[in-house]
Chain A
């Protein structure tokens, strides 16, 4: 998925960033010695400043000095990393629909004994809100709304009720026959994890609350596979009475987590299939979570491993040829919210989703430590994620082309056709030629929709041919994305109207808009919707540039047609040895 930044807030974000940078910047500029800088940064980090946290982790002499007191340095580092990690998570695109995912992400970060709590961000999650106001003042409204839902703020969950909520809670009900009384004051003293656990219990009585659990929603939609798997394990007789008691009354997500921990390092006699199903569906155990340092390391290790993986396939060689000419391939591992990957044009980095990698680790029983040490495990992850690298490399190539050509290029269906075609070509070729790759995908697909989807794209490309695959991408996969023609039409129409409107303004009015308006470089990063929505705030020179780019689409069409022809040639040359199946 090609990321498009929300530029409506760019100016404000920049200003805020500069203001918040002050302690770190001052530490760099005014405090000449590492000791002086460390002192300033320590204070700033203690106040929760993520910019100072970043400056600290990048300042080699300061780190060296800090590490003289190893324990203190480790603590400071963990706080700094936690702050950066929190900022990274909250910088992703969130909205109310993805609030449950955000809740899961925050639940493991804001809890008792977590570094953030030592910085005053927790354990009560409401403490996150003033922190955001202070350090992320320009966060989009959608994110702020999602955060309130994610932390399960009383008012969001229960509305205007301020006194109590009666609820029946698991064993308490069973033992005493009485429900528990829930008060707003108690609720506000709980962590997100505790609130989610209580909500999990309440969902059984109040289906309206299932909106606070993606698992419950999935179950409600008929996805009973995981539930059935849990029931099968519970009924297998393989668990001890103590283990069964621990599961009783817990929400499905907690049961999955507990079962995963029971399976870990034990010989519980249930089938591997059941174990894999449960391990794929549960959240990460602590040892499976890749921390930010491990994610960085894994990203750089994957650069080499993925290169090896791509070599020898037609689509992969095309990708490698692109990087040979246009700079090195850069892979990072980070949470990607609702996507398996994204391309970050600012850093020219392909970001692979850490959650997807961790899910694979659950299925295979790998830990963060083992993946770092074991080359075979790393190679497996490289194989597993390589289709996403191919897909994102196409988006990177599109970005490079647009920048070299100096043309406005929003995210369009044509981009997805090109990227998905290359991915489909690569995966279908690997499935044919690389037995280990095929085994990894086929053995994972029943537990991971990611694996199945990668096979599906390959099948769709192989069965459709390039022409019909393009139509499928437009109609089935990306119908909500504008085509080149639609995007050009939308932008050109809005821009042309605005230029006409400006002709009617006074010179002074035009100058005012140009002085405060969005520049060419900012406008070039905006989506067609953003441009047409804020066309009145864009500098005239930028409008003229957009108009000039889009008035004739030849340069775009030539590019996409050439890319499609090249992929087709690769496909043709890779299907020469097909075998006709028996015909009845």
Chain B
């Protein structure tokens, strides 16, 4: 009996670990997964996942919980979602990781920051925080923030932010291993909350994958 309990306990924990750590390739992710909600949380009326619908070759359509947003996702990229954290932070987000990365992941994030989220007080705050470094600078030897541009995305008003930064991989130790990051954001104001589409890659990989980002961004539809 004891043996059975021990084995089950270890197994169940490993299963939880696997779910928490993970994701699936966008092509493999079931349309209705994940459906479970963290204990004490109200389940989403409509859980997120891959959905039937038109998508260009090599892409699948993804819809977030409660249809907060939907967009095309590249089928051969790794789709990650941390539903528990999404609900904790009131930020509903998918992360798409490219097949090829360097020292940091090449990734696209599509997120809906609900009005209840307290990470940023609104889209202006997000733009403010992301258009300069913590010292309020837009340019120094290792960082360059482009001026914020007004643009249109999916027929909506949007703001485009671009930056390049040298980032160290071990900020708490003396190892100076670093990578030159290039990033691009689209920030979309909404009636409730706001949306962010974010592409990050090592500078060397940015050109190769930026077209994928633009396709994802171009296919974006928001509920609000």
The chain A residues found within 8 Å of chain B, CB to CB, are 1, 218, 223, 338-341, 391, 416, 420, 427-428, 431-432, 438, 441-442, 445-446, 449-450, 452-463, 465-468, 470-471, 475-477, 483, 485-486, 488-489, 492-493, 496-497, 499-500, 503, 547, 550-551, 553, 561, 568-569, 571-572, 575-576, 578-584
Contact = CB atoms under 8 A, between A and B. Distances in A.
Interface of B: 2-3, 6-7, 9-10, 13-14, 16-17, 20-21, 82, 85, 88-89, 91, 93, 95, 104-105, 109, 118-121, 124-137, 140-143, 147-150, 159, 165, 167-176
A535 B222 CA distance: 52
A455 B147 contact: no
B91 A467 contact: yes
A485 B131 contact: no
Contact of A463 (B3, B130, B172): B130
A432 B171 contact: no
Given A438-B135, A483-B21, A561-B88, A339 B130 contact: no
A305 B172 CA distance: 22
A577 to B, nearest CB: 10
Contact of A452 (B6, B16, B168): B168
B125 A575 contact: yes
Given A420-B172, A492-B9, A575 B17 contact: no
Top-3 shortest CB links A-B: A465-B119, A458-B134, A485-B17
Nearest to A419: B172
Contact of B118 (A1, A340, A459, A569): A569
A584 B118 contact: no
B171 A578 contact: no
A493 B14 CA distance: 8
Given A496-B6, A496-B9, A551-B13, A477 B124 contact: no
A391 B82 CA distance: 26
B10 A486 contact: no
A485 B20 CA distance: 8
7 contacts: A431-B134, A431-B135, A445-B140, A460-B167, A466-B89, A483-B20, A583-B159
Contacts of A551: 9, 13
Scoring B17, B88, B129, B142 by chain A CB atoms within 10 A of each residue's CB, the highest score goes to B17
A572 to B, nearest CB: 5
A476 B165 CA distance: 14
A489 B14 contact: yes
A99 B172 CA distance: 20
A578 B135 contact: no
Given A468-B109, A580-B127, A477 B148 contact: no
A231 to B, nearest CB: 19
Scoring A454, A571, A584 by chain B CB atoms within 10 A of each residue's CB, the highest score goes to A584
A446 B91 CA distance: 36
A449 B174 CA distance: 8
B149 A583 contact: yes
Contact of A441 (B17, B135, B167, B172): B135
A492 B213 CA distance: 41
Nearest to A487: B17
B121 A572 contact: yes
Contact of A477 (B119, B129, B137, B169): B169
Contact of A466 (B119, B132, B170): B119
A305 B180 CA distance: 36
B99 to A, nearest CB: 16
A578 B174 contact: no
A84 to B, nearest CB: 24
B129 A578 contact: yes
B14 A340 contact: no
Given A580-B124, A584-B147, A338 B175 contact: yes
